[in-house]
Amino acid sequence: MESQTIRSNVLADARIAFLGKTYGMLALCILAGSVGAYMSMGSVFAYQHPWIMLFIMMGGVFAVQALRHKPGINLLALLGFGAITGMAISPLVGFVAAKSGVLVMQAFMTTAVAFAGLTIYTFTSRRDFSFLKGFVWTGLIGLIVLGLSNLFFESSMIAMVSAGIGVLLFSAFILYDTSTILRDYPNDEYIAAALTLYLDVFMLFENLLYLFGVLGDE
């Protein structure tokens, strides 16, 4: 009985360490993204070449995943990816900030509060949100199709609806991914876990930022 108790304590400590690393890495990645966005303000590359930035970001995801088990390099890869996403979103940040810097801060704080609230709820409720898997992935495909179709229609209404759907979708992704990380991720996958949560936070912030920017016109 005593040996089982010791083993349980060791496993619990290992899991707590995993979660600590995950959210620590997430915080560093968000910081890197913020620095990347700040340093890229005024740069026209991301604005003029959005498709190139998209492919660079996709390559960054694969790079972080490939290097996630290499100590030291995995952190650099994650921070580098965060900086790239900051560069990619800098035109939108600049656009909204030109209207009011308060709008950017409001979008950031709304993202932070939403993420914290959803995370705390998942931790405290101990609910298994795996049932959301079909919904979130189908919703993501639908959102991508809607976004691609708007390249032809160029409708501000469709763009606003897409952003609204995106806020709901990536809020659901936070619930789903947090639940999956708590239950299924091995203790050595903290880089992959941090990357997953960062993508959720980044997309939630991007959609909120767009909505705040649009609503700021009214």
Per-residue H/E/C for the chain = CHHHHHHHHHHHHHHHHHHHHHHHHHHHHHHHHHHHHHHHCCCCHHHHCHHHHHHHHHHHHHHHHHHCCCCCHHHHHHHHHHHHHHHHHHHHHHHHHHHCHHHHHHHHHHHHHHHHHHHHHHHHHCCCHHHHHHHHHHHHHHHHHHHHHHHHHCCHHHHHHHHHHHHHHHHHHHHHHHHHHHHHCCCCCHHHHHHHHHHHHHHHHHHHHHHHHHHCCC
Mean pLDDT of the chain: 92
- 200 and 160 in contact (C-beta within 8 Å)? no
pLDDT at 10 over 70: no
Q: What value does the mean pLDDT take over residues 3-19?
A: 76
142-169: per-residue pLDDT in tens? Answer: 999 998 887 787 788 888 999 999 999 9
> Which pLDDT belongs to residue 101?
87
Q: Are 86 and 35 in contact (CB under 8 A)?
A: yes
Mean pLDDT calculated for residue range 176-182: 96
Q: Quote the tokens at residue 91.
A: 């035109």
Contacts with 155 (C-beta within 8 Å, 6 or more apart), sequence order: none
Q: What is the band of 182 on the pLDDT scale with cuts at 50, 70, 90?
A: very high
Is the pLDDT assigned to residue 179 strictly greater than 70?
yes
- In this predicted structure, what is the pLDDT of residue 205? 97
> Rounded to whole angstroms, how far apart are CA atoms 185 and 165?
28
Mean pLDDT, residues 74-83 taken together: 97
pTM, whole model, 2 decimals?
0.94
pLDDT above 70: residue 1: no
pLDDT at 214: 80
The CA angle 35-165-83, to the nearest 5 degrees, is 15
Tens digit of each residue's pLDDT (9 = 90 or more) over 85-131: 999 999 999 999 998 889 999 999 999 999 999 999 999 998 999 99
Q: Is the pLDDT of residue 218 over 60?
A: no
Which residues, 6+ apart, have CB-to-CB distance to 163 below 8 Å?
A: 207, 208, 210, 211, 214
How does pLDDT run across 26-68, given as a tens digit for each residue?
999 999 999 999 999 888 899 899 889 999 999 999 999 999 9
Within 8 A by CB and 6+ apart from 138, the residues are none
